Structure 1
Amino acid sequence: MRFSVARAALVLAHLFILVTPMAANASQVIIPAPPQLAATAYLLIDADTGKVIVEHNADEQLPPASLTKMMTSYIVSEEIYAGRLQETDLVRVSDDAWRRGGAKSGSSTMFLEARSEVPVIDMLRGVIIQSGNDASIALAQHIAGSEEAFAEIMNQQAQLLGMTNSHFRNATGWPAEGHLTTARDLAILAKALINDHPKHYALYSEKHFKHNGISQPNRNKLLFTDNTVDGIKTGHTEAAGYCLVASAKRDGMRLISVVMGAKSENARAAESKKLLAYGFRYYQTHKLYSAGDELGSARVWGGDPKELVLTIDHDILATIPRGGAKNVKAAIETNANIEAPIAKHQPLGKLKISLDDEVIVETDLVAATDIAEAGLVDRAWDAILRLFEE
């Protein structure tokens, strides 16, 4: 591919102004080392850009305990979205769900009564807020016929989401051989919960839920101490330790933290708080461009008109250290031999955003409009002109 250096230089100067005024004395921003947590594995990401801000053992396969229920609730939401399930549908509580997950099981429970029928939306609250094993099993059986069959759906969904290091054996997170995931995969799942099903994600911020005359608080302590936290889920078994996936939004920036294998209920909350505080203190999510922004123009040989506008078809966001925007640079690469016809949104070059000489975003530059072929005479004249451009 050949590139028009002169044209790129002209547009590049324009892009610098669009991203940030370039300071003559721009220098690298100093960021302190991230906190080291008392946990087996942890991860902090920018939910909008996917940028990893802090990680430790993020790809180590570990038992997730009740963090498993994030996938259970995601599948319930997917079923509702697809029209195969309604929030008002009644779910029958089997004797098996009551025995293994109910009041006498000694595990976290919604206190469902055996053979009762409960609406899907209440069951979903029981899974999310009360971490009910009975509700998780009942929903799994209602959707797939058995918890084993539901686990297969969980694994298929995990692959679709890109959770390549996860394998589920049940809907609850009850210890089982091979029932494992990673901090990174849980962050992927958290993003999907937030972005794909925002209505149901709002349930994760509810602090209490009452069923069968019994009111239980949400086990996520951060909901009660930090009003910017709106989710997500706790988990605990002897094998998994104390776990928490949390998310918070401040000043337009959303972070997701994952802490696995903390020593206590208080510790998982405190360690998660450290991660979130670090991310919000030292980083920002910057919107550099909006979809449809005109970023330059390009010559179209044999086209009518002969110039087209270059744009992007999605917003460009980047996670940048606070105070580091002055070090952001943009560059474009365009094909020097663009020929008509051109279709709207057709890729015609690259936009590269760099921070301190590291490329942090690379995306296609696309045509803003269709460009038709010019008439025979104009095409012939362009062919002659191109001889002098070679």
Structure 2
Amino acid sequence: MRRFIGGCLIAVAVLPALWLDSAAAAPRLLVDVRTGQVLYADDAATSWYPASLTKLMVAHLVMREVEAGELDPRTIVTMSTHAASQPPSRFGLKPGSEIELRDALRIMLVRSYNDLAVAVAESVAGSEAAFVEAMNRECARLGMRGTHFVNANGLHDPGQVTTAHDMALLALAIMREHPQNFAMFGNAETQFDGRTIKNTNGLLRDYPGVDGMKTGYTCPSGFNLVATAYRGGRRLLAIAMGEPSTKARAADVSALFDAGFAGRLKPVGPLSRYDSSGLSPAVDLKSYACGKSLPAAALPLALTGG
């Protein structure tokens, strides 16, 4: 626990014409994990609210501590009054209830419970604020210049922002640094105390080859998804943010994977090409009735790289 103390464009046929107008272009990104080459990028440096994609960083930091021997995966996480009071979605443990760290993390990654994320942060770092400091230090280490965290669960805060580029950096770090624990990001469902908990990432059940990672939603952010898929000896990482629905985010990520695995997209440069210049205000979809006031675009039929 010691680390937590102190201190050129791509020509695309129709992906997507996008459901957002020019005032709020939604980020999309597709990366070949082995080469680090970007196969498709659209507004990858645009500032966006991460919502529960935040929990990728929570899991990354906890896994790093466990793998370094600083934390026991059986460490008891106690549900504080503060953690239990987080808005839904909640796992629902009462204040004073206990759960092992490994169970809390596994369940949080499957269902994105906000109370568990805060309880984990408090139990690991002593307070949520101290854990958030560690999250931001890790952003600096990974080069996530367009990201700043304010809380551990991703509930909306104007100061909590990220980019598709930065989420890709984080996802790649997780795959690189935690191969023995990567399976935790790919459980289609899990069980605990007689309960069956289904993952909010439906692609884990519906798209052959998808094996991780995380969903996120708040009204200001829209529906976000970071996903990985492995097929024919090749692994791809896809990111879609600001979608109008779970169905739309799954469809756009599926279209990216389809095009990538079919070889219709050619490399357009390294991920660093899509870095942001730093923090900036994020697009707020609340002004678009959480995206519902904007027309959804027809799903793409094909993609071509250029």
* Fold-level similarity (TM above 0.5): yes
8 Å contact 1:130–1:209 — kept in the other structure?
no
Aligned length: 252
The residue number in structure 2 matching 1:35 is: 15
1:253 aligns with 2:234: yes
The residue number in structure 1 matching 2:258 is: 277
Q: What's the CA shift for 1:211?
A: 2.7
Structure 1 counterpart of 2:135, from 154, 178, 183: 154
For structure 1, the 5+ residue unaligned runs are 1-30, 285-318, 322-390
Task: Give the counterpart letter for 1:69 in structure 2.
Answer: K
The residue number in structure 2 matching 1:294 is: none
The residue number in structure 2 matching 1:109 is: 90
Q: What's the CA shift for 1:210?
A: 2.5
Structure 1 residues 249 and 34, CA, compared in 2 at 3 Å: closer, same or farther?
Answer: farther
The residue number in structure 2 matching 1:242 is: 223
8 Å contact 1:38–1:271 — kept in the other structure?
no
CA distance in 2 between counterparts of 1:211 and 1:94 reads: 20
Structure 2 counterpart of 1:62, from 25, 45, 48: 48
Task: Give the counterpart letter for 1:162 in structure 2.
Answer: G
TM-score (norm 1): 0.62
8 Å contact 2:38–2:267 — kept in the other structure?
no
Structure 1 residues 212 and 115, CA, compared in 2 at 3 Å: closer, same or farther?
Answer: farther
The residue number in structure 1 matching 2:147 is: 166
| Residue identity (%) | 38
Cα RMSD for the two superposed structures = 1.8
The residue number in structure 1 matching 2:178 is: 197
More contact order relative to length (CA 8 Å, sep ≥ 6): 2
The residue number in structure 2 matching 1:45 is: 31
Q: Deviations over 1:310-349 (max 9, x none)?
A: xxxxxxxxx769xxxxxxxxxxxxxxxxxxxxxxxxxxxx
Q: What's the CA shift for 1:213?
A: 3.5
1:158-237 paired onto structure 2 within 5 Å: 158-237=139-218
8 Å contact 1:204–1:231 — kept in the other structure?
yes
The residue number in structure 2 matching 1:89 is: 75
CA distance in 2 between counterparts of 1:254 and 1:73 reads: 21
Q: What's the CA shift for 1:34?
A: 6.4
8 Å contact 2:207–2:254 — kept in the other structure?
no
TM-score (norm 2): 0.78
Task: Give the counterpart letter for 2:180 in structure 1.
Answer: K
Q: Deviations over 1:248-283 (max 9, x none)?
A: 011111110010000001111011101111111116
Task: Give the counterpart letter for 1:262 in structure 2.
Answer: E
CA distance in 1 between counterparts of 2:12 and 2:66 reads: 45
8 Å contact 2:56–2:214 — kept in the other structure?
yes
Q: Deviations over 1:208-239 (max 9, x none)?
A: 12234332200001011123000110000000
8 Å contact 2:227–2:238 — kept in the other structure?
yes
Q: What's the CA shift for 1:117?
A: 1.6
SS of match in other structure, 1:247 = strand
Q: What's the CA shift for 1:84?
A: 1.2
CA distance in 2 between counterparts of 1:183 and 1:217 reads: 25
Task: Give the counterpart letter for 1:154 in structure 2.
Answer: M
8 Å contact 1:34–1:54 — kept in the other structure?
no
CA distance in 1 between counterparts of 2:234 and 2:89 reads: 33
SS of match in other structure, 1:163 = coil
8 Å contact 2:189–2:196 — kept in the other structure?
yes
Structure 1 residues 232 and 76, CA, compared in 2 at 3 Å: closer, same or farther?
Answer: same
Q: What's the CA shift for 1:44?
A: 0.6
Task: Give the counterpart letter for 2:130 in structure 1.
Answer: A
SS of match in other structure, 1:209 = strand
Deviant stretches of 4+, over 6 Å: none
Larger Rg: 1
Q: What's the CA shift for 1:142?
A: 0.9
Is the deviation greater in 257-266 or in 32-41?
A: 32-41
SS of match in other structure, 1:166 = coil
Task: Give the counterpart letter for 1:245 in structure 2.
Answer: V
SS of match in other structure, 1:256 = strand
Structure 1 residues 201 and 68, CA, compared in 2 at 3 Å: closer, same or farther?
Answer: same
SS of match in other structure, 2:262 = helix
SS of match in other structure, 1:129 = helix
The residue number in structure 2 matching 1:145 is: 126
